[in-house]
Amino acid sequence: MTKEMRLDRETLNTTSTPLNTMDELGYRELETENKNLKNLLGEANDKITVLQLQAEPALKKRGEQLEKSLSIALDINDKYQRENKELKDGAKEKKDWKVTLSYDIHHKDTYLISNETKEDAIYIAENQNNSPKYDCLLINEDESDIEDTDTTIKEVVFNTEKKEWIDKEKK
């Protein structure tokens, strides 16, 4: 760089004379445009902040409502699942049963039916008591002519001390 060029540059930086070159005019235009954009961005940012502050309580309230609804739905589902499990377990649980068939004309048969559901034990005692397919043992029989039947059923357990089947309630 020559001495004259340095001198021109120094003069340009220190003087307050208007800039005449195209580059200098374009630079000023860009500076003005940049300031305007910064102002617009600031205003837009302020509007966004205001909108966020206005929406925040409504969103929080809606979130609480959804959370409460979800909690209620989960409680209902949990209760339903528990009840369903209890019904399934109770209906399919196999136990030992003492089924007594009583008739209007004196006749009583008592069977020991092992490892069956309550409903199956009644069916086996009434209809399949001689079938080799089931563990059904006649433990007491009072004979006479058969007419109408009445069925009672009790869950039983084997008492190892007495070596006999006893009602579960008496245990």
Tens of pLDDT, residues 8-52:
555 555 555 555 677 777 888 888 988 888 888 888 888 888 887
User: What is the rounded distance in angstroms from the CA atom of residue 23 to the CA atom of residue 166?
Assistant: 111
Contact by Cβ (8 Å): 111, 96:
no
Q: How many other C-beta atoms are found inside a 10 Å radius of the C-beta of residue 121?
A: 26
Pairing of strands 108-116, 95-103: antiparallel
Domain segments of the chain as ranges: 21-92, 94-170
User: What is the rounded distance in angstroms from the CA atom of residue 99 to the CA atom of residue 156?
Assistant: 10
0.75 exceeded by pTM: no
Tens of pLDDT, residues 88-104:
776 667 778 888 877 66
Q: Could you identify the residue written with the tokens 């528990």?
A: 82
User: What is the rounded distance in angstroms from the CA atom of residue 31 to the CA atom of residue 55?
Assistant: 36
How far from the centroid of its chain's Cα atoms is residue 40's Cα?
Answer: 49
The rounded radius of gyration (Å) of the Cα atoms in the chain is: 48
- What integer pLDDT is reported at residue 145 of this predicted model? 58
Helices within 94-169 (DSSP H only)? 118-127
